[in-house]
Chain A
Amino acid sequence: MAELSSVDWSRAQFALTAIYHFLFVPLTLGLSFILAIMETIYVKTGDEKWLKITKFWLTLFAINFAIGVATGIIMEFEFGTNWANYSWFVGDIFGAPLAVEGIMAFFLEATFFAVMFFGWNKVSKGFHLLSTWCVAIGSNLSALWILVANGWMQYPVGMTFNPDTARNEMQSFFEVALSPVAVSKFLHTIGSGYVIAALFVMGISAWFLLRKRCVAEAKRSLVVSASFGLICSIFLFFSGDESAYRVTQTQPMKLAAMEGLYQGEHRAGLVPFGILNPKKTIDNNESVFLFDIEIPYALSILGNRDPNSFVPGIQDLIFGNEAKGIHSIQERIDRGKTAVLALKEYKIAKEAGDNEAMELSKTQLEENFKDFGYGYLDRPSDTIPPIALTFYSFHLMVGLGTLFFVLFLVVLYLTMANDIEKFRKILWACVYCIPLGFIAAEAGWIVAEVGRQPWAIQDLMPVHIAATNLGSVNVQISFWLFAVLFTALLYAELKIMVNAIKKGF
């Protein structure tokens, strides 16, 4: 029980670090592009007002960047202390993308960052603009490699397991880097960052209009942010659709939890809104929802691109569905246990110098390796993620995403019609949507990570096997230490940013 508690605290600590880290990251990703767009308009038009606008948002960008930079390093420390089994098992597959990320981040961001801040009136307008675009592209490319690593955890491809070293070895860099799960995850994540940044610029600009300050600059910022946000919302819709398709193909249990789908269906409907019945389990016949609205065929279209297709539910995945070619989890647990046993026998045979037995157990391990992680599970029901958290997080994310799209559309229309100041409630909605953007993005990550529990690496390593407790400081104490540290950083960011905003353009 004490060990279980340690695993849970390690998970909580990683979740806390990741959630705080991802408050800073998306704003950097999106705001860098909004800055580049604003500066491009300045260079093209020569209008000094655009320069003033660019410099104002650049200040806020700098504050966010300064507070957020290096917060991700703590996660790398956590890998070494709390997740050593995992760190070793993933081998260079995780290391290679992170190394590329480090190099790209250093050369592209660090080099051009200085020009972006110190270069006004010292380098040509064109070179300064190029630097701003390089910072935007560089920071987004950094995100690519982090998300490639995460994509591999969701859908491990391009590697083979080496039983001698207990590591996975990369066989194809391109298979890892261009994995469809990684690509769709990257596109959807950066898209969410762009929408967050657009909401941030739009909300602050709306605040200026409500205060009747810096009206001309605020209106121009509204046009850029609402246009950018609208385009990115559409992009987010398509990348979200692709992500859901990939989840259906590679992590069907996650999709079933996202939709509260217990019993698989042909022509499955999508539930855009529903209240889950807390009494429902896989063992009883209670109804899944207390209340729900369903769009017919939509889940089959989303998951398989075919309105008549079958979407498996939690019960199909747990107990198997022979007609649909779905193996039960118990079968997978048995195969996983065979794989773990084969690894053990391989080690014994190696120590005894028995080459024939080594070869035999290696073959058995390879044949069952795709279910390796199931060997550590006790019950089929261990593979069910927390359904309510996954379901509500998913629906919150989609609901907020839809709200943002409508808001961008309305604000753009009203701003272009030069009428926006009359609609104070819309302006207040823009202000309130600033935190909602972050909530939507964090909800998305909860879907991605909680929805694939119990796995640290899908099908290969459950979280309790990934965890280690090598630290000398109790993980519970360090959890609270990090909570204080990150809250202090967030407080500092908000305080400095509010002061900078109050000064105006």
Chain B
Amino acid sequence: MLIKQAFDTVFKIVDFYIQGFRAMKLGKTLWQLILIKLFVIFIVLKMFVFESNFNSTFTNEKSKSEFVLKNLIQGTK
């Protein structure tokens, strides 16, 4: 009984979203824009502009500390 109730609730929530997305007019254009933007940010920029960053260059805490400590002591960029 409890499982059925939970299932019905989940179904209602999913249906709420499906119906909502179906009824969208301007929203469809906005979603397309959001998806293009997320693609540009997370795929294009992340892979080609920000692929080399602090976490990828230094994979553990110790090497990160040493890198920054060296920069702080030497006063270099």
Contacts and interface: CB of A to CB of B under 8 A. Distances in A.
Contacts of B38: 70
B77 A114 contact: no
A63 B31 CA distance: 10
B55 A468 contact: no
Contacts of B17: 114, 118
A59 B26 contact: yes
Interface of B: 16-17, 19-21, 23, 26-27, 29-31, 33-34, 37-38, 40-41, 45-46, 48-55, 57, 61, 64-65, 67-69, 71-73, 75, 77
A496 interface: yes
A88 to B, nearest CB: 4
A392 B59 CA distance: 45
A472 B48 CA distance: 8
Interface stretch (A79-87, A182-190, A380-388, A413-421): A79-87
A67 interface: yes
A167 interface: yes
B16 to A, nearest CB: 6
Interface string A47-80: 0000000000001001100110111011001101
B52 A471 contact: yes
24 contacts: A62-B26, A62-B27, A63-B26, A66-B34, A67-B30, A67-B33, A70-B37, A77-B46, A80-B53, A80-B55, A81-B52, A84-B54, A88-B54, A88-B68, A114-B20, A118-B17, A119-B16, A164-B65, A166-B65, A343-B73, A375-B75, A471-B49, A471-B53, A489-B37
B16 A66 contact: no
A496 B49 contact: no
A85 B71 contact: yes
A334 to B, nearest CB: 15
A263 interface: no
A464 B77 contact: yes
Interface in A106-122: 114, 117-119, 122
Contacts of A470: 52-54, 57
Contacts of A469: 77
Given A66-B34, A343-B72, A80 B50 contact: yes
Given A78-B50, A465-B71, A471-B50, 4 more contacts: A3-B77, A6-B77, A81-B52, A465-B72
Best-buried of B48, B75, B77 by chain A (most CB within 10 Å): B77
A124 interface: no
B30 A80 contact: no
Given A59-B26, A471-B49, A340 B68 contact: no
B26 A340 contact: no
A73 B23 contact: no
B46 A340 contact: no
A277 interface: no
B50 A492 contact: no
A117 B31 CA distance: 13
Given A66-B34, A468-B54, A118 B49 contact: no
Contact of B68 (A3, A70, A85, A119): A85
Nearest to B74: A344
A391 interface: no
A198 interface: no
B71 to A, nearest CB: 5
A485 B72 contact: no
B60 to A, nearest CB: 12
- 5 nearest CB pairs, A to B: A118-B20, A80-B53, A66-B30, A84-B54, A77-B50
Contacts of A375: 75
A481 interface: yes
A465 B75 contact: yes
Contacts of A59: 26
Contact of B72 (A63, A84, A117, A340): A340
B69 A347 contact: yes
Interface string A159-174: 0000011110000000
Contacts of A122: 16, 19
A446 interface: no
Contact of B49 (A71, A473, A500): A473
A85 B58 CA distance: 12
Nearest to A348: B73
Contact of B16 (A78, A118, A478): A118
A89 B23 CA distance: 49
